[in-house]
Structure 1
Amino acid sequence: MDTQLTALRTTLSHNDVLLKILERTAALTLPHWYLTAGCLFQTVWNVVTNRPPTHGIKDYDVFYFDDTDLSWKAEDIAIRAGREAFSDLSADVEIRNEARVHLWYEQKFGVPRPPHDSVESAIDSFASTTCCLGVRLEADGRWRVYAPHGLADVFNLVVRPNPVLAPREVYEAKAERWRQEWPELRVLEWPAHRREGLVPSTSRKNG
């Protein structure tokens, strides 16, 4: 795994925008944060397929977890701080407190969902296991990587379903969009023996 982590850092370092977002997010001192979703695995896809590092990346998602203050006002302060920190970058950076997701989820998606208990649990609910990846920069400059399903699929361009929360149609819609940008992807089919999920993948788009 250490070899994979070294390869991940080397590969992601091709994306200068991503590195700046990591550094500036660390300076915001958000609690329990990760840069996550499409900006990570899509950077890897781009480097592996010899595309520009930022090709096809729609936005950069920063998840943090603060259950000590679930008010919109507190989250908005973090969002505004990020907006100022990233104002000179040609990138859409979205900052969200994953402790608040259950408060607005039903209104947006039509079904309730239990509260997340960490950023990791939010990442775990992405539509594809390939998406389940988070990186943050620690105070001492080290990278902390959360990759519960490993990194082999990311580097091998495999998109694997994660039928934890996401319904089949969400997974297939995302996979089809990704395949239009990266036709080299090998998209695995939704498992026939699993029942359809009842709620969309998670709080964010995951790329």
Structure 2
Amino acid sequence: MIPDEELDLLRTVLSRNTVLTEVLARTATMGLPGWYLTAGCLFQTVWNVVTRRPPTHGIKDYDVFYFDAGDLSWEAEDAVIRAGRELFAGLPAEVEIRNEARVHLWYEQKFGVPCAPHTSTEAAIDRFAATTCCLGVRLEADGRWRVYAPHGLSDVFDLVVRPNPVLAPRFVYETKAARWRELWPELTVLPWPETTSSMEGP
């Protein structure tokens, strides 16, 4: 359970990024099941505020996850992506929308390891390459922010990048961490656990 004061601080900090708050507001109008704004745009906004950089510094895109297991066709997901493209037109940001119920259909081809089907958007967030990435926020109908942070917020605010070896291969974590260190040299990047690496085989 995350203390209310930490949640309040997170909202205050993320609200410094007006692009982020606009993405939240517009996504809330789409009616996507189980959606969250997630990953880099969140923790990188925190890093920027903590290190006194512009709030949007280094943010490559804004990831919106949703979960619709009722239709796993590419056509259904593409229709949502195209609707989002129109909705977010004019924003100085790239917004990527993905149905997390479909990830297992393409993950192995892209990353080289199989992925069991996700059971929810939260389950997908749980499998990010770094625990620091495991963060999601959405805007509820009553205007409240719903925050999903299974590993808490301490590492995010302390600029610690911690591996999460549950799905993504080691190279994914190390590639991302190297990019982040170039943009935020203050980060402490913890190493991938060697025991996990040895279990993966040669």
Deviation at 1:196, TM superposition (A): 5.4
Please state if 1:142 is matched with 2:144. yes
TM-score, normalised relative to structure 2: 0.94
Ranges in structure 1 where 5+ consecutive residues have no aligned partner: 199-207
Alignment of 1:86-97 (within 5 A): 86-97=88-99
- After superposition, give the CA deviation of every residue in 1:137-177 in whole Å (9 maximum; x if it has no partner): 00110000000000000001011111111222221111111
| C-alpha contact (below 8 Å) 1:126/1:166 kept by paired residues | yes
| C-alpha contact (below 8 Å) 1:168/1:196 kept by paired residues | no
- After superposition, give the CA deviation of every residue in 1:118-154 in whole Å (9 maximum; x if it has no partner): 0111111111100000000001100000000000000
| C-alpha contact (below 8 Å) 2:136/2:149 kept by paired residues | yes
110-119 or 178-187: bigger deviation? 110-119
188-197 or 170-179: bigger deviation? 188-197
Aligned to 2:125: 123
Instruction: Indicate how the Cα distance of structure 1 residues 105 and 27 shifts in structure 2: closer, same or farther if over 3 A, else same.
Output: same
Deviation at 1:194, TM superposition (A): 2.3
- After superposition, give the CA deviation of every residue in 1:72-124 in whole Å (9 maximum; x if it has no partner): 11111111111011001010000000001112223333443210000111111
Identical pairs, percent? 75
Find the partner of 2:192 among 190, 195, 198: 190
CA RMSD across the alignment:
1.3
106-115 or 53-62: bigger deviation? 106-115
Instruction: Indicate how the Cα distance of structure 1 residues 161 and 106 shifts in structure 2: closer, same or farther if over 3 A, else same.
Output: closer
Letter aligned with residue 114 of structure 1: A
Instruction: Indicate how the Cα distance of structure 1 residues 170 and 108 shifts in structure 2: closer, same or farther if over 3 A, else same.
Output: closer
Work out the CA distance in 2 between the residues paired with 1:22 and 1:180. 28
Deviation at 1:197, TM superposition (A): 7.7
| C-alpha contact (below 8 Å) 1:34/1:134 kept by paired residues | yes
Aligned to 2:69: 67
Work out the CA distance in 2 between the residues paired with 1:88 and 1:94. 15
- How many equivalent pairs are there? 198
Partner SS, residue 26 of structure 2: helix
Letter aligned with residue 156 of structure 1: D
Please state if 1:181 is matched with 2:173. no
Work out the CA distance in 2 between the residues paired with 1:110 and 1:195. 15
Ranges in structure 2 where 5+ consecutive residues have no aligned partner: none
Work out the CA distance in 1 between the residues paired with 2:83 and 2:149. 27
| C-alpha contact (below 8 Å) 1:44/1:155 kept by paired residues | yes
TM-score, normalised relative to structure 1: 0.92
Partner SS, residue 145 of structure 1: strand
| C-alpha contact (below 8 Å) 2:115/2:167 kept by paired residues | no
Aligned to 1:203: none
Partner SS, residue 64 of structure 2: strand
Work out the CA distance in 2 between the residues paired with 1:180 and 1:152. 22
